[in-house]
């Protein structure tokens, strides 16, 4: 399970690397769509790890984070479809 935890951390870290490279490429601060997908992937794996560890602090943090990531994707997709 420690390998699973590190895999989750790796996915979570990729979102920052992706955001940094995207911002450097555009010369301004941007948050690419893939940032949210890496957030969900990393957050989900870390939540599973936290549940296995029975760590209420990480469980609550990742659980709230996942809600926020999914909500941001909802807003992005809603705005792309022209709904307001």
pLDDT digits (tens, 9 = 90+) for 68-83: 999 999 999 999 887 6
Summarised one tens digit per residue, pLDDT across range 11-28 is: 989 999 999 999 999 999
Rounded to an integer, what distance in angstroms lies between the CA atom of residue 70 and that of residue 78?
12
Alpha-carbon gap, residue 4 to 75, rounded angstroms:
30
Per-residue H/E/C for the chain: CHHHHHHHHHHHHHHHHHHHHHHHHHCCCCCCHHHHHHHHHHHHHHHHHHHHHCCHHHHHHHHHHHHHHHHHHHHHHHHHCCCC
- Band (pLDDT 50/70/90 cuts) for residue 63 is very high
The percentage of the chain sitting over the pLDDT mark of 90, rounded to a whole number, equals: 88
């Amino acid at each position: 399970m420690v390998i699973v935890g590190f895999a989750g951390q790796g996915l979570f870290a990729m979102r920052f690397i992706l955001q940094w490279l995207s911002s450097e490429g555009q010369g301004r601060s941007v948050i690419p769509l893939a940032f949210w997908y890496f957030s969900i992937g990393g957050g989900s794996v870390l939540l599973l790890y936290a549940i296995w560890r029975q760590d209420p602090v990480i469980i609550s943090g990742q659980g709230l984070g996942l809600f926020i990531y999914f909500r941001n994707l909802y807003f992005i997709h809603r705005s792309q479809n022209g709904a307001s």
